[in-house]
Each structure stands twice: as structure tokens, then as C-alpha cells.
Amino acid sequence: MAVKLRMTRIGRRHRPFFRINAVESRTPRDGRILEKLGHYDPIEKDPAKQIVLNRERTEYWLDKGAIPSDTVSQILLRHGIKHKYAEEKAARQAKARAIAGAKGKLFNKAQRIAAKKEAEAAEEKIKTEAEAKTKEAEEKAKAETEAKTKEAEVKAKAEVETKPETETAQEIVEAKTEVVEEKTGPEAAAEEETEAKAKEEAEAKTEAEAKPETETAQEKIEAKTETVSEQAGPEAAAEEKIEAKAKEEAETKTEAEAKPVIETPQEKTESKTEPVDEKAEAEAESEAKAKAEKKTKAKAKKKTPSSEETDNSDES
């Protein structure tokens, strides 16, 4: 039968007290015991009185093959009582730790707590580094802004200092320009007067040339209207077409002659030569029209006697 070394609880509520006994493995916690080996008082402050053991009897039961519980084995190790079960347990724990380390896992609660602490420390380091970087960036930005403000102030001061110099230079230039304008004032006025006179003379010439041409054109139109009233039939239609063409040509000529375009001396000379040619052409056209009118009048006179003869015959 297997024997175990374990503790049984004795005492009232909130006042625990444990006895260390040799008990069969099948019996319950508070069941029949084989032998009392000592006691454990966790509330006792004196370490000599806290644990009391019968060393000889515990070694006897250990030699017989009794298996201590975990808490009892720790108490025995504190008192210097070594046994093979504690060594085997340490070997098993070492092996399990090695396997867990190879797999990258944590073995017990202490390792888990240590891992948590390490992770928290790493996070704090990262946070502190990030805060330090942000502080450095803010300090750099502040330094740059301060430097820029200082440069702007220096530039403003330099501009304020250089402004009087530039103003004096501008005043000198303005004074020089005023002197030059005063010197060239009479000459410019004389040139402007001559230009104005030339423009007025050119306008007067164009108006004088345009008036007789318009009068002659109107006279031609009146004469044609008279001949048209006398004539009849196909000759009247032909004459109307001729008159319409003559009117259009006269209007275009009057518009072209009425436009005053005098900008340069060369253009003045050209404008003087052009009216002479236009006058010759107008005279030739007027002569041709006068001849045509005479012919039409003669034809009309020839026709009138025949009409009188018909009237006389009717009367008779």
C-alpha cells in the first residue's frame, strides 16, 4: 500500500493550523492517520516555531517509499531533508522548461509575468522614443520659425535703410526728366501745331473735291430720269439698268473720296495724285453719258411726229 506525507487542516475559521502526517493514499484529508510527524502554523511569526518536524520519523517513512506532497516537500527542503522525489521533480521541470523554450512557449506563471513586464517595458521605451522625436521636431520647427522671423526683421530693416537712398535717386531722375521736358516744350508745341494745320488743310481739300463730284452725279441722275420718262418699252428698262449702275459707282466713289486718310507726307502726296486721275475718269464718263443722252433724245423726237400724224388722221 502506498503511503503519502501530507497535511491535515485543524483550527477555526480565519485561524488555519496544519498537521504533517503519514497517511495512506486512499484515505481522505481528515481521515485515519498512520503517524503524526509534526505541524505547520502559517500565522506564527517566529520561524523556529512556525514549523515543527520529527526528523527521524520523516526520514524513516521516506526510506520506506513514502511520497510527500508538493507543500510538504518544500517544507522538508527548507529543513535540509533531501529526497529523491524532489530531485526527480526538479529534473522534470527542467526538461519541461527546455521543451517550452524550444517551442517558444512560457513554462510557468513567473515566466508569463516576466514576459508581460518585458513587453510593457519595450512599449514604454517606444513611447518615450516617439515623444523624444516629436519634441525634437517641434524644437527644430520653432528654431526655423525664429530664424525666419529674424531674417525677415533684418530684411525689413535693410529695406527701411535703403528706401531713402532709392527715393533720392528717383527724385533726381524725375528732376532731370522735368528739365528735359521744359527744354523740349516749345519745339513739341510747334510740331503739334504744324501737324494740326496739315490735317485741317487735307480735310478741306477732300471736302472741296467731293462736293463738285456729288453735284455732277446728281445732275446726271436727274437727266437720266427725264429721258426715262420720255422713253418707253425695252429701251426704258435698259436705261434703268444703266442708271442703277451709275448710281452705285457714284456712291462708291463718294464714299472712297470722303474718307480722310492723312498720316504721313508720302500718303499726302499719294492722295493728291489719286484725285487727279479720278477727275479725268469722271469727266470721260460724263462725256460718254451726255452723248448717250443726246442719242436717246433724238430718237424720242423722231418718234413724236408719227404720233401727231395718227392724231390728225383720227380727227379727220
Q: Per-residue confidence at 161, pLDDT binned at 50, 70, 90?
A: confident
Q: What pLDDT is attached to residue 36? A: 93
Q: Are 34 and 55 in contact (CB under 8 A)?
A: no
Selected residue with higher pLDDT from 60 and 247? 60
Per-residue model confidence as pLDDT tens digits over 113-135: 988 898 999 999 999 999 999 99
**Quick one: CATH architecture of 3-107?**
2-Layer Sandwich (3.30)
**Mean per-residue pLDDT for 136-150?**
90
| Phi-psi category of residue 44: left, alpha or beta, with phi > 0 → left and psi -120 to 50 → alpha | beta
**Of 23-37, 148-162, 216-230, the least confident:** 216-230
Q: What pLDDT is attached to residue 160? A: 80
Q: Where are the domains of the chain?
A: 3-107, 204-297
**Of 11-15, 161-165, 224-228, the least confident:** 224-228
Residue with cell 533726381: 172
Q: Per-residue confidence at 246, pLDDT binned at 50, 70, 90?
A: confident
**Mean per-residue pLDDT for 67-73?**
90
Q: What pLDDT is attached to residue 315? A: 45
**Of 99-103, 184-188, 248-252, the least confident:** 184-188
Per-residue model confidence as pLDDT tens digits over 12-23: 899 999 999 999
**Mean per-residue pLDDT for 237-256?**
72
Q: Are 21 and 31 in contact (CB under 8 A)?
A: no
Residue with cell 506563471: 109
Q: What is the 3-state secondary structure (H, E, C) of the chain?
A: CCEEEEEEEECCCCCCEEEEEEEECCCCCCCCCCEEEEEECCCCCCHHHHEEECHHHHHHHHHHCCEECHHHHHHHHHCCCCCHHHHHHHHHHHHHHHHHHHHCCCCCHHHHHHHHHHHHHHHHHHHHHHHHHHHHHHHHHHHHHHHHHHHHHHHHHHHHHHHHHHHHHHHHHHHHHHHHHHHHHHHHHHHHHHHHHHHHHHHHHHHHHHHHHHHHHHHHHHHHHHHHHHCCCHHHHHHHHHHHHHHHHHHHHHHHHHCCCCCCHHHHHHHHHHHHHHHHHHHHHHHHHHHHHHHHHHHHHHHHHHHHHHHHHHHC
**Mean per-residue pLDDT for 262-280?**
51
What mean pLDDT, rounded, does the chain reach?
Answer: 76
**Mean per-residue pLDDT for 18-41?**
89
**Mean per-residue pLDDT for 172-197?**
66
Long-range contacts: 111-119, Cβ < 8 Å, 24+? none
Q: What pLDDT is attached to residue 37? A: 92
pTM value is 0.35
pLDDT(312) > 80: no
Q: What pLDDT is attached to residue 199? A: 81
**Mean per-residue pLDDT for 199-216?**
69
Q: What pLDDT is attached to residue 156? A: 85
Q: Which residues contact 246 (CB under 8 A, 6 or more apart)?
A: 217, 220, 221, 224, 289
CB atoms within 10 A of CB 5: 23
Selected residue with higher pLDDT from 86 and 119? 119
- Report the distance separating Cα 264 and Cα 271, nearest Å: 11
